Amino acid sequence: MPNRPLTEFLSDQRVLAAPPDQSVLDAVRQMAERNVGAILVLSDGALKGVFTERDLLRRVVAAGKDPAATQLAAVMTTEVVSIAATHRGYEAFQLMHDSGVRHVVVTGLPGAIGYGVVSIRDFAPGDLARFEKELAFEEHVWEVV
């Protein structure tokens, strides 16, 4: 359910993270192995950015860069969209919608890393349809007011 706390969405998650100097090729291989669309870029435990499938397509492939010779630091998203772990699923979904992203970094989690990632794929298709209708209605209401 979309009203679940974000900590429930992430309860089984093992965060995928890499250092900024890791090659794009190695990061993409890790992402493929784990079937995820994003990897956190951490340096000394601090979040430096996130590398997503979109970054791969737009900043590596479309730019003609060699994934084996390109470091994550050169192509990662540095303006990370994040939300505190104390929030609920629907708030993360609304943030994704409003920000035009498919992944949101969750901060303030217990554990060594302290971060997680919630993805648009974490929501059931029925949840997404209902959320989109609610958001459209809300936007319409604000336009009328």
Domains of the chain: 6-144 (3.10.580.10)
pLDDT at 122: 81
33-37, 60-64, 85-89, 136-140: segment of lowest average pLDDT: 136-140
**Residue 97 vs residue 11, higher pLDDT:** 97
The percentage of the chain sitting over the pLDDT mark of 90, rounded to a whole number, equals: 58
**Residue 145 vs residue 79, higher pLDDT:** 79
The torsion angles phi and psi of 138, rounded to 5 degrees, stand at -60, -45
Residue 131: Cβ within 10 Å count: 18
Report the mean per-residue pLDDT for the chain: 88
List % helix, strand, coil for the chain (3-state, nearest 5). Answer: 45, 25, 35
4-18, 33-47, 64-78: segment of lowest average pLDDT: 4-18
Q: Which two tokens stand for residue 119?
A: 């993805």
